[in-house]
Amino acid sequence: MLHIENLHVSIDGKSILTGIDLDVKAGEVHAIMGPNGSGKSTLAQVLAGREGYVVTAGSVRYLGHDLLALEPEQRARAGVFLAFQYPLEIPGVANVQLLRAALNNLRRARGENELDAMDFLDTVKSKLALLGMDDSFLYRAVNEGFSGGEKKRNEILQMAVLEPRLAILDETDSGLDIDALKTVAHGVNALKHPERAVILVTHYQRLLNYIVPDHVHVLAGGRIVRSGDARLALELEDKGYGWLAPDVQGNVQGDVQGDVPMEAPREGRL
Amino acid sequence: MNSFTMSQALVNTRSSLRLMPVRRAALEQFIAHGLPTSHEEDWKYTSLGHLEKTEWHTPEGAPIVSNVVLGTEEYPGEVMHFSNGHLNEASPQACYARSLAKQADSAPVVQHLDTLTRATALTQLNSALWQDGLFLHVSTKDTSADASAPLFAVYSAGEAGAMLHLRNLIVLEAGAEMLLVEHYRGTPDLAYWNNPVTEIVLGEGARLTHLKLTEDSAAATHTGLTVVQQARDSCYRALSVNLGGRLLRQDVEVNLMGDGAECRLDGLFIADARRHIDQHLHIEHAASHTTSRQAWRGIAAGRGRGIFDARVVVQPDAQHADAQQASANLLLSPHAEIDVKPQLEIYTNDVQCGHGAAVGQLDEAQIFYLRSRGISADVARALLLRGFADAALGLLKDTGLAEWLEPHLTAALPRLEQERAA
């Protein structure tokens, strides 16, 4: 489904990814682990099409397409979904408005009819119930004033509604309390399907207690330094990232954090 | 424009004899001082030089502006329609809403007209040359079913070279409530000059909600003043939606004279193309426990220019005053400009005041977020713009007017996208 070959990426002339090779088949769950600054989030953003990243070498094939040649919205319509590490607040746009616009765009791209308001609401409400979320979520502005945990759950709600072929979760587990973590895991496990694949980008092992990966890759210094099965994550938990990437310090076993508001440092906000 | 044509306009004005000396004195004052120039601090950003170069006239009689030109519009309420400065005879009139010209010698008009305005050049010109306008006089006995529905005052301009000095007087007696909508519009691309003055007097505990939608033609000049005086515990809530005109200068002055009086001035402007929109707000807290809120949003695109200049003065007697100013602005083009000048002048200790102002651009990270959900870049921008604009319109929530305003807003917003693409 996804075939990444020798991917090199830089930002502002600084090399971040230095030769990634990764093969993800339909039905698989891959975990990409690594210390801070290893390039995990860059990989996730590049796959979703974020501007500002320069691919200096390598290729990414997705379902036979050259993924890097597609605009972000075309990737989404082709079934790629990124759950953001720092979901954006969109003031003045209701959650339900975004979900409906997004879903109907996808349906059009797949040659399906747009859902009318009633059918759409039925679909969304079944997903809300699946995730144990309240209907009032729908009528709030997208992520505005949401706690960190609510933002992450909202990402999972979007994923559940849009039913992507390839879901990439960028540190969706960070900043979550244990209940929210279980909700997120439940949402991901419900999406599992022989025709779909999931990439979990995470710093910590604990999410993998709830979503068992088929493959685990350790990213350090912009490259995959070790791949293995689910046992690799447990081994990392024991030994720390210093085991595989001697020049970095990092704790694999994250403390369980509270459900706290979280802000990414950004520019140009009103 | 010269003193002779202005004097001629006064000669042609049909007026109550009582007002003639007032009009003559006002015109003399205007002629002596002339239009404001950019040397005056309040006019630093806005030049009215082009008004000097035009031969303006005041339209006579009450020609019906063709609806073929302006299009028909359904207003969800009672309508007072002024065409080229005169009240259309066909307008239905609620008992509390009348022609100011016809009521010029009635007791409330004698008592209140021209008592609030400061003697600036533009208001003097209006005092000299006004031909008609809305006289709204509401007491609690009118606050029945029909006074709770909105009253629309619609001002249509359809004559090139016309100067329209509409004069409105709004008096709400103690405890009265009213929902008033002013809508300024004109034949597309026609050059005319609107210079309305609206005086508003709110008695004890009176509540006025006031929406002003300005959609003048792309060649029009609009210089308007709204001045409000508030008695104890009265409440003035206003929303200005400034979408039109080549040049729009809006002055709003609110005097919180009675203890516990509250005002809320919200606004949205869209300065696209070469539009110039200059808004000056002035709030005086002159009594204790008075509250003022300003929340204004602006969007500038193309070579558009926006100015938001808002001053709040808290006088020594205004203990426990509470004043908040907020202005958020979006620039959509490198050639657009928005100048924001919030000012607080506080002459007493026991107050709560704050202001915030920001000028920014559409956030690329937000656009990427929406695109990553399959929404095209153009739709993402439109959604963000709409969300930004909607945040200024909270006052509409309990008025039932959102639906009416909707097509006006959607007509104004896509212009931005066309410009960006150009």
- Could you identify the residue written with the tokens 């890759």? A217
Instruction: Collect all residues from A whose CB is shorter than 8 A from any CB in B.
Output: 48-51, 71-73, 75-77, 81-82, 84, 87-93, 97-98, 101-102, 105-106, 109, 141, 158, 162, 266, 268-270
Average pLDDT over residues B345-369: 92
Question: What residue ranges define each of the domains in chain A, with the CATH number in brackets?
Answer: 2-243 (3.40.50.300)
Position A104, amino acid: N
Q: How far is the alpha carbon of B317 from chain A, nearest alpha carbon, in Å? A: 35
Residue A259 pLDDT more than 60?
no
Could B360 and A76 be called an inter-chain contact, meaning their C-beta atoms sit closer than 8 Å? no
Give every CB contact of residue B344 below 8 A, 6+ residues apart in sequence. Answer: B311, B312, B314, B323, B325, B353, B355
| Dihedral pair phi/psi, residue A254, rounded to 5° | -75, 150
Burial letters B25-37, b for 16+ CB under 10 A, else e: ebbebbbeeebbe
Task: Kindly identify which residue of chain B lies nearest to residue A85, measuring between CA atoms.
Answer: B369
Question: Which chain B residues contact residue A109 at CB under 8 A?
Answer: 374
What pLDDT, on the 0 to 100 scale, is given for residue B360?
92
Q: What is the mean pLDDT of residues B229-243?
A: 98
* Residue labelled with tokens 């100011």: B100
* Res. B401 pLDDT band, cuts 50 70 90: very high
Q: Is the pLDDT of residue A260 over 80?
A: no
The pLDDT of residue B420 is above 80? no
What one-letter code names the amino acid at A199? I
Confidence check: pLDDT of B94 > 80: no
Residue B199: partners with Cβ closer than 8 Å, 6 or more residues away: B112, B113, B114, B115, B116, B117, B168, B169, B170, B227
A97 CB-near residues (< 8 Å, 6+ apart)? B383
pLDDT band at A18 (very low <50, low <70, confident <90, very high): very high
The answer to whether the CB of B284 falls within 8 A of the CB of B256 is yes
pLDDT at residue A71 in the model: 96
In the structure, what pLDDT confidence band is assigned to residue A59 with cuts at 50, 70 and 90?
very high
The alpha-carbon gap from A238 to the nearest alpha carbon of chain B, in Å, equals 36
Distances (CA, A) of B93 to B9, B77, B139, B146: 28, 11, 16, 12
Strand pairing partners for A150? none
Among A50, A92, A158, whose Cβ lies nearest the Cβ of B368? A50
Judge contact between B341 and B280, C-beta under 8 A. no
Q: Give just the sign of the alpha carbon dihedral A182, A184, A187, A189.
A: negative
Residue A71 and residue B377: Cβ atoms within 8 Å?
yes
pLDDT in tens, A118-151: 999 999 999 999 888 889 989 999 999 998 888 9
pLDDT for residue A262: 47
pLDDT for position B95: 75
Percent of residues, chain B, with pLDDT higher than 70 = 93
Tokens standing for residue B260: 């516990």
Mean pLDDT of chain B: 91
* Predicted complex ipTM: 0.90
Rounded to a whole number, what is the distance in angstroms from the first to the last CA of chain B?
37
Task: Please list every residue in chain A whose beta carbon sits closer than 8 Å to the beta carbon of residue B364.
Answer: 51, 268
Report d(CA B271, CA B392) in Å as an integer: 15
How many beta carbons lie within 10 A of that of residue B164, not counting itself? Answer: 31
Which pLDDT score, from 0 to 100, does residue A178 have? 87
pLDDT band at B181 (very low <50, low <70, confident <90, very high): very high
Q: Burial level of A2, CB count in 10 A (0-12/13-18/19+)?
A: buried
Average pLDDT over residues B395-422: 80
Give B259-312 pLDDT, tens digit per residue: 999 999 999 999 999 999 999 999 999 999 999 999 999 999 999 999 999 999
Give the residue-averaged pLDDT of B15-39. 92
- Closest by CA position to B243, among listed B160, B299, B315, B319: B299
**CA distances for A258 relative to A18, A147, A173, A183, B417, angstroms:** 35, 11, 12, 15, 43
CA distance B135 to A132: 57
pLDDT at B186 over 70: yes
Give the per-residue pLDDT at A215.
95
Sheet containing A215-220: which strands, arranged edge to edge?
A: A80-83, A166-170, A197-202, A29-33, A215-220, A223-228
Contact B402/A at CB under 8 A: no
Q: Provide the pLDDT for residue A254.
A: 46
Q: Are B100 and B134 in contact (CB under 8 A)?
A: yes
- Answer whether A91 sits within 8 Å of B370, measured CB to CB: no
* CB contacts, 8 Å: B328 with chain A: 270
pLDDT at A252: 53
**Per-residue confidence at B62, pLDDT binned at 50, 70, 90?**
low
For the segment B200-227, the average pLDDT, to the nearest whole number, is: 97
Cβ pair B370:A90 closer than 8 A = yes
A70 is written with which tokens? 């597609």
Contact yes or no for A92 and B370 at CB 8 A: no
pLDDT in the model for residue B13: 85
Contact (Cβ atoms closer than 8 angstroms) between residue B35 and residue B249: no
Question: How far is the CA of A94 from the CAs of A148, A165, A185, in angstroms?
Answer: 18, 25, 25
- Asked if B112 contacts B169 with a C-beta cutoff of 8 angstroms, the reply is yes
pLDDT single digits (tens) A149-207: 889 999 999 999 999 999 999 999 888 888 888 888 998 999 899 999 999 999 888 88
The shortest C-alpha distance from B369 to chain A (Å) reads 7
The two three-digit tokens of residue B404, written as one number: 């009416």
Six token digits for residue B91? 């307008």
Q: How far apart are CA A94 and CA A96, in angstroms?
A: 5
